[in-house]
Amino acid sequence: MILSTNLKHIASRDEHAKTLAENENVMVCCGRMGPMCIPVYGVMEQLQSQYPHVAFTDMAFDHPEADVIRNLPEARGFMGLPFVIYYKNGKVVEAKSSIQSKEQIIEVLDRVF
């Protein structure tokens, strides 16, 4: 279950843990190929070159091992996809849900990383 984006794909709990261990700054967009998620993937793809110190990744929301994102305390009240989680040194520093504009994503990137 891989999303058709140009982002690094996280396909398991182990890959999620490895990504957090190997990168200080990680943005994970956990979603589907749907109307609320695709624009967020697009913005992330555009921003990769401007933020080389951030690992931009995706994870398929419906994959059983995406529970590592779905069950985060920070995502407890989320109602819409995608779930976007920002990690610094392996810890959640920001969590957002639903569609987000480029400006909203840049604001978080600049503030937390």
The model's pLDDT over 71-108, given as tens digits with 9 standing for 90+, comes to 999 999 999 999 999 999 999 999 999 999 999 999 99
Cα 44 from Cα 37, distance rounded (Å): 11
Give SS3 for 25. strand
Give SS3 for 105. helix
Is residue 7 within 8 A of residue 58, CB to CB? The reply is yes
pLDDT at 1 > cutoff 90: no
Residue given tokens 């392996």 in the structure block: 90
Q: Could you state, in order of their start, the residue ranges of all structural domains in the chain?
A: 8-112
Strand order in the sheet with 91-97: 8-9, 55-60, 25-31, 83-88, 91-97
The alpha helices in the chain, defined as continuous H runs, are 13-22, 38-47, 67-70, 102-112
pTM here is 0.96
CATH class of the domain defined by 8-112: alpha beta
